Amino acid sequence: MNILVVHRAWYPTGGDWTYVENVVNIYEQKGHTVIPFSMHDDRNAPSAYSEYFIENIDYKNVNKRSLTAGIKVVMKSIYSFEAQRNLERLLDNVKIDFAHLNVIHHYITPTILKILKKRNIPIIWTLHEYTPICPDSIFVSHGEVCERCYGGKFYNCITHSCKKGSYLASTVAALENYIHKYLNYYEYVDYYICASNFQMQKYKQFGFFNEKLVQIYHGYDYATVELARKTSGKTEEKYIVFVGRLEKIKGAHTLLQAMLSHPRIKLKIVGDGGQEAELLAFKEANRLDNVHFLGKKDKLELLKIINGSEFLICPSECYEVLGFTVVEAMAMGKPVIGAAIGGIPEMVIDNYTGLLFQPGNSAQLATYIGTLYNDQALIAEMGKNAEVHINKIVNNEDHFKNLQKLVPGL
């Protein structure tokens, strides 16, 4: 089959790309041909179909352009005529058996759905966030979980300036949601795939095409994980690890607060982000010499760091869909101390594959860090359980079998 895979970028962008790259590999290993549709970018992987990609939208440069140019970019991010034209050209030249969509809001836009529907091409859409029901995509307003837009009341995004704390950005985000709800191209999708049961229940709670929602855990190719395990050198160093964006919603500030109770436990923080300067200042002010900021790392080096740790901490304070960092840590036999929010509890089974704490509760997190760090037998037991559990729910074989149920002939 010829499978159209649509995503905002064709290079590593985070967890969404981890999924896209993996599912592309699955399709190709099963003998299918993948035709990508994305945006132009110098970082893209080579593709014979890049001539059909749309112009890159770089929001960071919008403010540097003229007001007119900025308005054009904003309108293009809501309703893309270019994406429709380029997709039409692609479909004129290549027979597509079905389309697999991923992250398209703000870039390629849901307007392409009518083009696919017109050609009677089956459509499945893996949801990586919550954009159709939340203008800010992640149910967060000013660092706190927010569900004010329930019932399609997207104006709350404007009145509370949820998007980046900006009235203008929030207005654009709310307008986008109102337009797509009115146009209702969403109805053309055959199935919406949710990566966790939590995500599916949240979409159902908001009444988003309940009959089309399907819960399928992501697939994952554990080859790189196994390579990291085999090539990691032995070390006597003992430490715990946090991996993720340094933003308030990821909970690193809660973790640092908890570390005040453990000045002798080494913590390695891998990642960067807008909160990095604030976190570094906290570290210096409180003389947390046991906390080490390592910045971003490439995949193999990151996995080796996780492999050398005692356990991973995932203190997220938002509705995580399904964190690949947790998947990778558990696959290497590492227990996880995770916040009881979003899809995390579907991986971190309390007192079995790790420990769950109340999001934002630094005192409880501090207690659990001490409990687990000082019990090697418990680390080993939970780590073993973690590896078995994650391989059972997140694997390529089951993922593909479930996709086959949605797409006849796949």
**Cβ(400)–Cβ(26) under 8 Å?**
yes
* Per-residue pLDDT at 201 exceeds 90: yes
Q: Which distant-in-sequence residues (6+ apart) come within 8 Å of 325 by Cβ?
A: 243, 244, 306, 312, 314
- pLDDT at position 58: 66
Beta bridge partners of 291: 267
pLDDT, one tens digit per residue, over 145-177 is 999 999 999 999 999 999 988 888 899 899 999
pLDDT, one tens digit per residue, over 363-391 is 999 999 999 999 999 999 999 999 999 99
Separation between Cα atoms, residue 265 and residue 289, nearest integer Å: 10
**For the chain, percent of residues with pLDDT exceeding 70:** 96
* pTM exceeds 0.75, yes or no: yes
Separation between Cα atoms, residue 276 and residue 280, nearest integer Å: 6
* Per-residue pLDDT at 342 exceeds 80: yes
- pLDDT at position 169: 85
Handedness of CA 369, 370, 376, 382 (dihedral sign): negative
pLDDT, one tens digit per residue, over 294-304 is 999 999 999 99
Query: What number of residues does the chain have?
Result: 410
Separation between Cα atoms, residue 288 and residue 190, nearest integer Å: 52
* Per-residue pLDDT at 59 exceeds 80: no
Distance of CA 246 to the CA centre of its chain: 15
Beta bridge partners of 262: none
* Per-residue pLDDT at 67 exceeds 60: no
* Per-residue pLDDT at 56 exceeds 80: yes
* Per-residue pLDDT at 6 exceeds 90: yes
Separation between Cα atoms, residue 110 and residue 99, nearest integer Å: 13
> Which domains occur in the chain, in start order?
2-128+190-219+395-406 (3.40.50.2000), 223-393 (3.40.50.2000)
For the chain, count helices (H), then strands (E): 15, 14
Q: Which distant-in-sequence residues (6+ apart) come within 8 Å of 308 by Cβ?
A: 232, 235, 237, 239
* Per-residue pLDDT at 63 exceeds 90: no
